[in-house]
A and B are shown apart, each in its own frame.
Chain A
Amino acid sequence: DQQVKQNSPSLSVQEGRISILNCDYTNSMFDYFLWYKKYPAEGPTFLISISSIKDKNEDGRFTVFLNKSAKHLSLHIVPSQPGDSAVYFCAARGLNNAGNMLTFGGGTRLMVKP
């Protein structure tokens, strides 16, 4: 069963506009959520995270929103830049996960057009 889902495999956005990437989860034991960015031929790079006790975390152009009742989180990138073009993964950690094991979604490919 897929406990973390990213239902949009791809997203295309114009430079300067907002990019919104979505993620849904099913496991209510998840207590910490992360977003990673991945360029081709590289490993995932940590972007931003949020604890389940918060509903928003902001870092520069990146903001993550968490809606626990809906088991939904989203990543907002404003303004979007061509260099943001990459695959974005959301990940979640559960309270009973050994050693911070992460469960990843399938990823969303973001394309920012100049």
Chain B
Amino acid sequence: DTGVSQDPRHKITKRGQNVTFRCDPISEHNRLYWYRQTLGQGPEFLTYFQNEAQLEKSRLLSDRFSAERPKGSFSTLEIQRTEQGDSAMYLCASSPPTGGYNEQFFGPGTRLTVL
């Protein structure tokens, strides 16, 4: 399978705990995106990497959210001191290097439930 993969698929945690999600993009894709989707809404952009550089992070929801892509391959999204409002589907997407328009390929998502 050469699609975008995410791990874990489901995470249940207690309020106040830290959680970390992993995303493995399609191998030749240098652009990687994180989105959050809450019930009944469309995905909401969080952050974007081009190779290992995080080029856009102003949309991260608070300073409890951080993301890394240390070697320009897989990425992690961490949420510290989780709150019940963080419960959502966290989606990762990737796209190839290009100067033109192209679609983003999404992974299956990690569903987070904060109790």
Contact = CB atoms under 8 A, between A and B. Distances in A.
Binding partners A and B: yes
A91 B37 CA distance: 14
Given A43-B109, A44-B91, A102 B40 contact: no
Interface string B81-115: 00000000001010100000111111111000000
B45 A103 contact: yes
B56 A99 contact: yes
Contact of B48 (A9, A34, A99): A99
Contacts of B95: 100
Interface in B62-92: 91
Given A43-B91, A44-B91, A46-B104, A100 B31 contact: yes
B42 A100 contact: no
A25 interface: no
Nearest to A6: B42
A69 to B, nearest CB: 21
Contacts of B50: 99
Nearest to B6: A43
B42 A43 contact: no
A49 interface: yes
A65 interface: no
Nearest to B93: A43
Interface centre among B43, B91, B106 (most CB of A within 10 A): B43
A104 B42 contact: yes
Interface in A39-58: 41-46, 49, 51
Interface of A: 4, 6, 9, 32, 34, 36, 41-46, 49, 51, 89, 91, 93, 98-107
21 contacts: A6-B42, A32-B101, A34-B103, A42-B108, A43-B91, A43-B107, A43-B108, A43-B109, A44-B106, A89-B43, A99-B56, A100-B33, A100-B101, A100-B102, A101-B56, A101-B59, A102-B43, A102-B45, A102-B104, A104-B42, A106-B41
